[in-house]
Structure 1
Amino acid sequence: MRFLRHSLTGLFLMAVTLGLIVYAGSVLRDAVVARMTEEPRMPQARERVFAVNLVTATPETITPVLTAFGEIRSRRTLEIRAATTGTVVDLAEDFEDGAVVTRGQVLARIDPANAQSAFDRAGNDLRDAEVAARDAERAVAIARDTLAAAEEQAALQQRAYERQVDLRDRGVGSASAVESAELSVAASRQSVLSARNALAQAETRVETAANALTRSRIAQDEAQRDLDDTTIRAEFDGTLTGTTAVQGGLVSANEQLAQLVDAGALEVAFRVSTTQYARLLNDQGRLLQAPVRVTLDVQGIALTADGTITRDSAAVEQGQTGRRIFARLDTSRGLKPGDFVTVSITEPPLQDVVRLPATALDAAGTVLAITGEERLEPLQVSLLRRQGDDVLVRGKTLAGREIVAQRSPLLGAGIKVRPLRSEPPPRTEEPAETALVELTPERREKLKEFITSNDRLPDDIKTRILAQLDADRVPAAMIRRIESRMGG
């Protein structure tokens, strides 16, 4: 009975297992059939939207600023040279590089012994010429008196001859007396001629003495100039540089002793491209007298000066391009010849132009504007200037449009975007980089004390900064930089 029960149980479990397998196969078959017979469903596509920053194109009148680099030069530099050969017997105490001298100040003296001797000899020769001139004038006077006496004697002899002729005609006189009288007349005439010749020679002697006197005076003037040339003076107010003379040293004629630089007559020479040069021309093709600002950045402290364009180079130097322009500086406090500076030139103002970020413009000269459906539309514009990170453009349909500030390769015509508009930050009344402010005595002394005690600054830079701090009005940017390093 137990065996039969176990056998029936096994058959029952086998039948259940087979039934489940058949049912599972049927379900799987129905699922495959249903999957194969149903239509495929495509997912619904969604348009991608990009977020963009927008700026409003507002036409305005903007004055562009052209930036270039140049070198400070002195408009008046004099080479101090020795005009004569000799030994330097006297030298100014401040005859050294960087010394400030005034006009007419004695800088050096060369041994004047030879020049003084030549001047004395010229003086003696002049006095001899004056004596000879006076003697010639006296000789002329004597020759004139001699000629007058000879003419009187000739007149007497002529009257005596005429009397003898008259006596002979009346039968009273003799022929021998007439002949003697005639010979006397001839001799008197010869005396007159001799006197005239002597007068002519005396007058010639006067002219010769006058010429000799003139030559003597010229020689004395030359000797005086040679004597004056032994004393070397400053021709104008300036600063000495390149000094080589020493007291007791022997110098030759035309040897350079130093250079005198007028630190108050500075100019800046800078080079611009031909395109930039064309922007600085007026309607007549002449160079504009545009204002410039020169900046020398010294370890974050800027030395500035204002000036005006005066001229440009007559020709393009060999191997160079563009144009070289010169600007005269009105104030040059702290600047020195040879400084490499940044030059900012104020160009003529441009009307109806739009300032945009440089990232808004592509290489094809187009910008992307947003439409009413928040899609992008390309606009063609003309690039007028580049001003740092901004560009100045002009377009017919640009006014009032919202422009994409930062372009990317993903943005193009017809792209759906999500605009990000931000209000422009309020303008603060902070002083500009070029503003000048007045300092109180306490603040001025505090700044000067900090600069003087700063061991990291070279002496020449300290001198320039202190020179600018001594001015009535000081650049605000320089004050901010100094005070930021002071911690105040």
Structure 2
Amino acid sequence: MHFLSRSLGGIFLFALTLGLLGSAVALMRATPSAEGQGHRPPPAAERIFAADVVALDYRDLQPKLVAYGEIRSNRRLELRASAAGTILALAPAFEDGGMVRKGDVLVQLDPAQAQAVRDSAVASRTEAEAALAQAERALAIAGDDLEAARAQAGLRQKALQRQLDLNARGIGSAAVTEEAELAASAADQAVLSRRSALSQAQATLDQAGTALSRARIDLAEAERELSLTTLRAGFDGNLAAVSVVQGGLVSVNEMLGELIDPSALEVSFRVSTSQFLRLTDAQGEVLPLTAQVALETADAQVRSAAKLLRVGAAVETGTAGRLLYAQLQSARGFRPGDFVTVTLDEPLLEHVARLPAQAVDGNGALLALDHENRLYSAQARILRREGDTILVRSDLPQGTQVVARRSPLLGQGIKLRPLDQGASLDQSMIDLTPARRQALVAVVQKDATLSGPDRAGLLAQLQQERVPAAMVARLEQAGG
């Protein structure tokens, strides 16, 4: 009985399977006939992507180069002891940071020894002057003696001539004539003696003059040595590295401190070689470009205009690029050694467009839209990078819409639904109130996603008199 029930169940399942197979066959046969009557499935719709686009707006723009440098003074004076001795007095302002004026006495050394040498030199000069005066008087007397001897010789010569005339007339004597000849000869000898005395007096006078000149030189040297015991400020400035105290003993050329002119400041900063080439003319000379120097603090910023002056003469070992120097126009608030941000205005670029940095790929290709809103690739030359924007030059016509931020999903031939169609990168500039500027600076400083160069670039732009409206809107949106 159990066997029979199992057999009937199997037959039932077999019949059910045959019925299902028959229904499937009938359904399959009906499907081709339906296709033959034109009932085909609808084709798949083309996928359209959406992306932000900007319009190319070619203008003449002036790029800005952001670098970092150090404030230094181009007028420094090392205060060194020119003489050895004990420090008797120091100026009240002779301390680190002390402000002194030109001509102020900074350090007074013990002048006793130098004073004694000077007094001795004064006495020597007085003696030399007296000797010179005596030699001048002796020369005058010797000259008078020579004139008297010459007059005496003339008289003796006349007497001899008279005696010779008498002899010629036969009324003279040989003895008298000989006596007259001897007298004339003695007079001539006296003239020679007086001439020798005059020459000796002239030599004495010359020696006295030389001695006086030497005495004056010694006196000038003694006065110079005495003046070296007093150290004065060469110009207005601040003192630094002060290392002496009153009563201390110093040696010759010992470093006492340093005098720095706080108004003659410049900034030194380093740029790459390619950046440096953009800052030179055809002859390789540095262009007189302007810059903005900013010192960042927690709640404020010290700023000054600057002018590019010169480039370093050599590249130091272990460094690259070029070292540039710019003169600060206003030194208020800056001190040598400050680490600052330098925003340099580069030469003007003609017919360039500003785009978001993500608008191009690594090969400098843009994705532009045609009249059917389909994408096609176009090449652009990247001229500058400024933070999150770039300056490009392309053969695309003015107003061509390009994808603002490339994506791996976008490529050539894809149809696009543009967002903010026709909008260009906002180039409008606006003025900021001090409160609004401070609030934007706080947003940038608190943004942890920004890198150091990007943060410095944004802070430098915020310190300009007029800032881009698009950047202000983006920062205010990020700040809530």
Q: Rate the CA distance shift 1:324–1:20 in 2: closer, same or farther, 3 A.
A: closer
- State the match for 2:127 in structure 1: 128
Q: Rate the CA distance shift 1:432–1:65 in 2: closer, same or farther, 3 A.
A: farther
- State the match for 2:431 in structure 1: 430
What is the CA–CA distance in structure 1 between the aligned matches of 2:404 and 2:63, rounded to whole Å?
A: 21
2:21 to 25, 28, 47: 28
User: Where in structure 2 are the equivalents of 1:400-439 lying within 5 Å?
Assistant: 400-421=399-420, 429-431=430-432
How far off its partner does 1:319 sit? 3.0
What is the CA–CA distance in structure 1 between the aligned matches of 2:427 and 2:360, rounded to whole Å?
A: 26
What is the CA–CA distance in structure 2 between the aligned matches of 1:428 and 1:281, rounded to whole Å?
A: 29
What is the CA–CA distance in structure 1 between the aligned matches of 2:10 and 2:191, rounded to whole Å?
A: 184
How far off its partner does 1:15 sit? 9.2
Q: Rate the CA distance shift 1:431–1:128 in 2: closer, same or farther, 3 A.
A: same
TM superposition score normalised by structure 2:
0.83
How far off its partner does 1:275 sit? 1.2
- State the match for 1:309 in structure 2: 308
User: Where in structure 2 are the equivalents of 1:322-333 lying within 5 Å?
Assistant: 322-333=321-332
Which structure 2 segments of 5+ residues have no match?
439-462, 467-480
- State the match for 1:319 in structure 2: 318
Q: Rate the CA distance shift 1:381–1:428 in 2: closer, same or farther, 3 A.
A: closer
User: Where in structure 2 are the equivalents of 1:55-134 lying within 5 Å?
Assistant: 55-134=54-133
Q: Rate the CA distance shift 1:436–1:146 in 2: closer, same or farther, 3 A.
A: farther
How far off its partner does 1:145 sit? 0.4
- State the match for 1:282 in structure 2: 281
How far off its partner does 1:35 sit? 3.7
Which structure 1 segments of 5+ residues have no match?
1-6, 438-473, 478-488
Question: Percent same amino acid among aligned pairs?
Answer: 45
Letter in 1 for 2:91: A
1:385-404 alpha-carbon deviations (Å, 9 max, x no partner): 11111000011224211110
- State the match for 2:186 in structure 1: 187
How far off its partner does 1:179 sit? 2.2
Contact residue 56 and residue 400 of structure 1 kept, 8 A: yes
Contact residue 163 and residue 177 of structure 2 kept, 8 A: yes
Q: Rate the CA distance shift 1:50–1:180 in 2: closer, same or farther, 3 A.
A: same
1:249 matched to 2:242? The reply is no
How far off its partner does 1:18 sit? 5.9
What is the CA–CA distance in structure 1 between the aligned matches of 2:195 and 2:299, rounded to whole Å?
A: 93
What is the CA–CA distance in structure 2 between the aligned matches of 1:29 and 1:383, rounded to whole Å?
A: 71
How far off its partner does 1:178 sit? 2.1
- State the match for 1:154 in structure 2: 153
Q: Rate the CA distance shift 1:74–1:15 in 2: closer, same or farther, 3 A.
A: closer
Contact residue 267 and residue 327 of structure 1 kept, 8 A: yes
How far off its partner does 1:54 sit? 0.4
How far off its partner does 1:318 sit? 3.0
Contact residue 431 and residue 465 of structure 2 kept, 8 A: no
CA RMSD of aligned residues (A): 2.9
How far off its partner does 1:356 sit? 0.1
Q: Rate the CA distance shift 1:365–1:170 in 2: closer, same or farther, 3 A.
A: same
- State the match for 1:374 in structure 2: 373
1:323-372 alpha-carbon deviations (Å, 9 max, x no partner): 21111111011111011111111112212110000000111111111112
Q: How many residues align?
A: 429
What is the CA–CA distance in structure 1 between the aligned matches of 2:267 and 2:9, rounded to whole Å?
A: 108
What is the CA–CA distance in structure 2 between the aligned matches of 1:16 and 1:230, rounded to whole Å?
A: 133
Letter in 1 for 2:317: Q
How far off its partner does 1:303 sit? 1.1
Which sits farther off after the overlay, 391-400 or 23-32?
23-32
What is the CA–CA distance in structure 1 between the aligned matches of 2:427 and 2:282, rounded to whole Å?
A: 39
What is the CA–CA distance in structure 2 between the aligned matches of 1:401 and 1:357, rounded to whole Å?
A: 15
What is the CA–CA distance in structure 1 between the aligned matches of 2:177 and 2:111, rounded to whole Å?
A: 76
Q: Rate the CA distance shift 1:475–1:258 in 2: closer, same or farther, 3 A.
A: farther
The alignment partner of 1:226 has SS state of helix
What is the CA–CA distance in structure 2 between the aligned matches of 1:120 and 1:286, rounded to whole Å?
A: 57
1:178-204 alpha-carbon deviations (Å, 9 max, x no partner): 222222222211111111111111112
Letter in 2 for 1:315: A
Letter in 1 for 2:419: L
How far off its partner does 1:36 sit? 8.3
